[in-house]
Amino acid sequence: MAAAADSAPSFDYVIVGAGAAGCLLADRLSADGQHRVALLEAGGSDRTPNVMIPAAFAKLFKTERDWAYSTEPEPALDGRRLFWPRGKMLGGSSSLNAMMYVRGNRLDYETWGALAGSGWSFEVARQTFLRFEKNLHAPADIYGRAGTQVVEPQREPNVITHAFLEACAAQGIRSLRDLSEFDNDGCALTSVTQKRGLRFSAADAFLRPALGRKNLTVFKHVRVDKLELDGRRVVGVRGTQKDGSALLVRAQREVISCGGAIGSTQLLLLSGIGPAAELSALGIAPVHDLPGVGRNLQDHVLVGVIHTCPHPVTLFAAESLKQLARFVALRRGMLTSNVAEAVAFVRSGPSQEAPDLELISAPVPYIDHGSVAPTGHGLSIAVVLLTPESRGRITLTSRDPEAAPRIEPRYLTDPDGSDMARLVAGLRRAQKLFETAPLAKYVGDVIEAPREGAPDSEVAAFVRAQLETIYHPVGTCRMGSDDDSVVDPLLRVRGIEGLRVADASVMPTITRGHTYAPTLLIAERAADILRGL
């Protein structure tokens, strides 16, 4: 039964999605007490040990706290369907990610500024990051210190992690003070969104400090099904609660979609905003023909080189009684590891303007998203493509809000084959690091790796068989100054009043790093725009 319109709760701002962007916006828009703010989240609480224990994040995959999406069969990956975890709880994916805090490269934000105007320039981005960060350990000229998003060094990096960095130095890769330096050619330990050995998500950083405010209402276990429109003006959202009852929430000012590349896209399409012909074919009445919705999908992908380790020094013992006791008593030990403990940003060749590859060191055999329990000690280097040329799309399979959307990343389908060529180069770089002292002494038999001396064609076959996402989908509601963009530089959905999108879906291009920090940047800029700052 539909919710009665006259009994519908009404707010100034309605935020859809309590992930990274939604948590920050809920805090900022409710801070002055002048506006009534509603935050709607499809999932529930994030208070569970596997969220708080850093090394346990993979145990959250394919649980009630994960949307657990899968792609369509990928034509360039031997027809495989890939698993895409996304957070379904307070904090969203910041509550199940690997806690890597990496802003990206200066060139990323110079590109955004060129595509979406001065409000997204590098200097604006740099100043905005400083406002919400709190890193008291890194150099003050890199990080902010007065914000609420705590970023800390790892408590006890593994001996293999230090050996990886020494091997990088031996290969001529320069040492960075921190991975969030904007000129980020080089290697460093990973800074993490942790506080004294526990995960510190967007829910911890932004939402919990705001929960006591009378003007902020959080609705959990509400699946937002569609936007409520009056002509071409959004006046609220309709959703379904955990018990199956309908909920209408009205917005006097604006609705801000913070559902991410998948959620925001799905919400717009279900509401009749998107490619009109595709919507009509599904029985959805088009409200506004906006062809770009769901297009421009970009993602970072990885391929791992994995070996056994002849020394008992890896994270294989992380769940031992000794390590559990250290974690409980001291918040130290292997359970504080984010697994991806060190990174090298490198270039696949001299023609690259900035790093286009990321090499991630993990002192454990990380196989199939961590779902394969290691049978012994091992180590991995994941090769990540930072600047993919391939573009995919997200579309609907049905007008039923419960139906998962169709996800077609189209990995490695760029016309000139650059994506594959650069991954092949990255794999060879990873194998060379494994052979380099002092890392070589920790490297045993092959678990997963291209054959030594294999030709490019054989390495490419390995890539097609092993490639996976590293969980960074962006771009499906692209921001820009051009008429073909989905949102304008003020994040307003083109052709629709009272609706903005503020999440990773608006990124015109993916950043050379991980996407949590840039998503917070987008949300902070959205808050500035809405408050007229």
The CA R_g of the chain, rounded to the nearest whole Å, is 22
Antiparallel, parallel or unpaired: β 216-219 and 37-40: parallel
Q: What residue has token string 């690091």?
A: 433
Q: CA 480 from chain center: how many Å?
A: 21
Say how many C-beta atoms besides its own lie within 10 A of residue 503's C-beta. 31
Q: What residue has token string 């040329």?
A: 389
Active site residue 311: no
Amino acid at 509: T
Q: Record the tokens describing residue 4, joined without a space.
A: 């009665």
> What are the Cα distances from residue 203, in Å, to 22, 92, 230, 335?
9, 8, 33, 21
Closest CA to 201 of 154, 153, 149: 149
Sign of CA dihedral 95, 101, 107, 109: positive
Q: Record the tokens describing residue 289, joined without a space.
A: 């023909």
Say how many C-beta atoms besides its own lie within 10 A of residue 357's C-beta. 24
The half-sphere exposure of 246 on its side-chain side, counting CA atoms within 13 A, is 14
Alpha helices in 361-495 (DSSP H): 418-434, 456-466
Closest CA to 101 of 56, 144, 38, 45: 144
Closest CA to 297 of 72, 526, 57: 72
The enclosing H or E element of 393 equals strand 393-395
CB of 279 within 8 A of CB of 350? Answer: no
**CA 515, CA 533: separation in Å to the nearest integer?**
24
**CA 432, CA 150: separation in Å to the nearest integer?**
35
The answer for residues whose C-beta is within 8 angstroms of residue 257's C-beta and 6 or more apart is 16, 17, 263, 264, 267, 268, 499, 500, 501, 502, 503
Q: Which of 288, 300, 377, 472 is catalytic?
A: 472
Sign of CA dihedral 388, 86, 104, 332: negative
In DSSP notation, 205-266 reads IIIGGGTT-TTEEEE-SEEEEEEEEETTEEEEEEEEETTS-EEEEEEEEEEEE--HHHHHHH
DSSP designation for 48 = S
Closest CA to 318 of 201, 195, 443, 156: 156
User: Could you list the active site residues?
Assistant: 472
